[in-house]
A and B are shown apart, each in its own frame.
Chain A
Amino acid sequence: MIAVVLGFLLLAPAVAPSRPASDFVVIVNAANPATRIDREELSRLFLKKVTFWGEGLPVLPVDQPAAAPIRAAFSQEILMRNVNAVRAFWQQRIFSGRALPPPVRDTADEVVLFVRDNPGAIGYVQPGTELGPGVRIVEIVDAGR
């Protein structure tokens, strides 16, 4: 598993070209060595199917409010299902005792702050959001779809 996670962190340039411009960018803490993330692995991170980065750091995804347009775009494009289906997914995980959903932050600034404060954090914000120091954008690539 570690090898798999490490693999997507260090994806070779041979993988498919990066995705076109979108309604969001994915951000990580500056201490995170990841520069590119496969879209399918990104989905696994946000659905907590993969919970550790390659170097053993816990993955801490942070979400946006269910009614936010950016969450709808992220859910559809990365998680490949609509927001309602994702909410049902988390019900299933919570009540079966399997996992808890990511924390929700109401604004892009709060998401950036969360990512800056947590080395293992990963979030998504609108393109053009002021990131400041300690946070950077990672590129999303399509290796498996």
Chain B
Amino acid sequence: MLRSMVTGGVVLAIALLSSPARAASGDVEIHGYGSWSYSRSGSDDNLYHASSKAGDGGYHNLAVTLASQVSPDVRISTQLWWEESAGEPGTATIDYAFGEWCVADALKLRMGQIKHPFGIYTEIYDVGTLRPFFWLPEGIYGPAGIVAESYRGVGLTGTTFKRGYQLDYDVYAGETDLEFTEIPVSGGDEAEVGEDSDEIALRDITGMRFVVGMPGVDLRLGLSAYTGREDGVDGGRRSCVGALADWNAGDWAARGEVVVVEQADAADVDAAYVEVSRVVHGGWQVAARVDHSRTRLEDSLEPAAECMLRHRELTAGLNYWFAPEFVAKLSVSRVDGNRFARPGDPEAVLDGGELVQRTNLVSLGVQFAF
């Protein structure tokens, strides 16, 4: 608790002392971002995105990024993260801290705790000013054991060009921890999936991401994949493959991803989303998103309720951009299924036979960067 408060205070002090316009001090640049949200759900039956029936405005976060170009070919970066929800103590962590040695634009070596290069949003996981909705699509970026914000290890990255095409690549090896919400199974034995934990420790990872930028149009297409060994699970291997498309054309933008996860002897997951946004007038932007996730347990496991394996969400949003670095967002979501929108104590609710499968959510928030 004390450590969190101290670290949070340091983070705030750095943020307040830095200049938004030119956050540079000597060779060290200071940037950051943060957000605050008020969320209200249709009932108190399910917990989803820091909401309650009465409304909850206690969620806020702040990140401070420090980066320095030590020499023309060496750069170091780190990011401190502080987050707090109503009724819960604040937590402070280091998102990433790594060094990069640039041999050439097409070959850079990275070492340390590095942003996880997977899909569109993992490297900018909490940066609200780079997306049309306050919350990321839950099917892929929620506690589904699919993506991590960072990995510990080594990686190669680079960019190259050919006939107007741009290729960005990452290959990496190391270890990471995936956030995961366990799935109750019949008989009360949920240890088979999630190991009674909110995290899956993934070791001996190897992974890659390739993204191609098309000539003459702001369209990127890419593939991501990784495989690793689940710590503490005999022979438990977790493999994940995803595809992405990201298109921007002036006022219009559209993004979509599909991901398939295979977890040996436990559960497979497929998830996908599509989101479209358009700036309609001045700073006003409208957005819509369809989000989907489905989990399949192995044959010997029977879910306590089928709806615990499913997440389908439809979200509409209205944003006002004061500047590219400051946005207010309003969104309305309708969720079907309890994979992520679920009661605080699923087992207790399941024992009583009452599980509300529909969840409505209204979120209002501001997000900023400097």
Q: How does the 8 Å CB contact mask read for A85-110 relative to B, with 1 for contact and 0 for none?
A: 10110011011111010011000000
**Which listed segment binds B: A28-36, A50-58, A131-139?**
A50-58
Chain A: residues with Cβ within 8 Å of the partner, total of: 27
Instruction: Give the residue of B33, B73, B218 whose beta carbon is less than 8 angstroms from that of A95.
Output: B33
CB distance from B38 to the nearest CB of A (A): 24
**Nearest Cβ on chain B to A47's Cβ, whole angstroms:** 10
Q: Does B353 contact A (CB under 8 A)?
A: no
Total interface residues on B, CB under 8 Å, equals 40
Determine if B105 and A50 form an interchain contact, defined as CB atoms under 8 angstroms apart: yes
- B214 adjacent to chain A (CB < 8 Å): no
User: Quick check: is A4 within 8 A (CB to CB) of the other chain?
Assistant: yes
Among B349-370, those with CB < 8 Å from A are: 369
CB neighbours of A81 from chain B (8 A): 218
CA distance A2 to B160 in the complex (A): 11
Judge whether A91 and B123 touch: CB under 8 Å.
no
Q: Which listed segment binds A: B9-17, B64-72, B133-141, B303-311?
A: B64-72
Closest to B279 in A: A84
**Cross-chain contact B69 with A95 (CB below 8 angstroms):** no
CB of B85 within 8 Å of the partner chain: no
Is A95 a contact partner of B124 (Cβ separation < 8 A)?
yes
A144 close to chain B: CB less than 8 A? yes
Expressed in whole angstroms, the Cα–Cα distance for A46 and B161 within the complex equals 15
Nearest CB of chain B from residue A48's CB, rounded to whole Å: 9
B218-249 contacts to A, CB under 8 A, are 218, 248
For B369, give its contact among A2, A4, A52, A95 (CB under 8 Å).
A95
Cα distance, A81 to B123, chains bound together (Å): 23
Contact A52 B325 (CB under 8 A): no
Q: Mark A9-34, 1 if CB is under 8 A from B, else 0.
A: 00000000000000000000000000
Kindly list chain B residues whose C-beta atoms are within 8 Å of the C-beta of A85.
248, 324
The residue on B at minimum CB distance from A106 is B22
With A1-B105, A103-B24 known to touch, is A97 a contact of B164 (CB < 8 Å)? no
Residue of B at shortest CB range from A66?
A: B21
Q: Quick check: is B31 within 8 A (CB to CB) of the other chain?
A: yes
Query: Most chain-A Cβ atoms within 10 A of its Cβ — which of B22, B77, B164?
Result: B77
Asked if B324 and A95 make an inter-chain contact with CB atoms under 8 angstroms apart, the answer reads no
Which B314-349 residues sit within 8 Å CB-CB of chain A?
323-325
Say yes or no: B105 contacts A49, CB within 8 Å.
Answer: yes
Q: Which residues of B contact A88 (CB under 8 A)?
A: 129-130, 324
A52 touches B124 (CB 8 A): no
Q: Answer whether residue B159 sits at the interface, using C-beta atoms and an 8 A cutoff.
A: yes
Q: A84-B324, A91-B130 are in contact. Are A100 and B67 (CB under 8 A)?
A: yes
* A92 x B130 contact (CB < 8 A): yes
Residues on B with C-beta less than 8 A from A104 are: 22
Q: Who on chain A is nearest to B127 by CB? A: A95
Across the interface, which residues of A come within 8 angstroms of B124, CB to CB? 91-92, 95-96
Min Cβ gap B278→A in Å is: 14
A-binding segment of B86-94, B96-104, B200-208 = B96-104
Q: Give bound CA distance, A110 to B197, whole Å.
A: 56
Which 4 pairs between the two chains have the least Cβ-Cβ distance? A96-B123, A58-B72, A97-B77, A87-B324
Listed A/B pairs (16) with beta-carbon separation below 8 Å: A1-B104, A1-B160, A2-B104, A44-B161, A52-B105, A91-B127, A91-B129, A91-B130, A91-B369, A94-B65, A95-B63, A95-B65, A95-B79, A97-B96, A97-B123, A144-B164
A-B contacts besides A50-B105, A95-B123, A96-B115, 9 pairs, CB < 8 Å = A1-B104, A2-B104, A49-B166, A87-B324, A87-B325, A92-B127, A94-B29, A97-B79, A97-B115
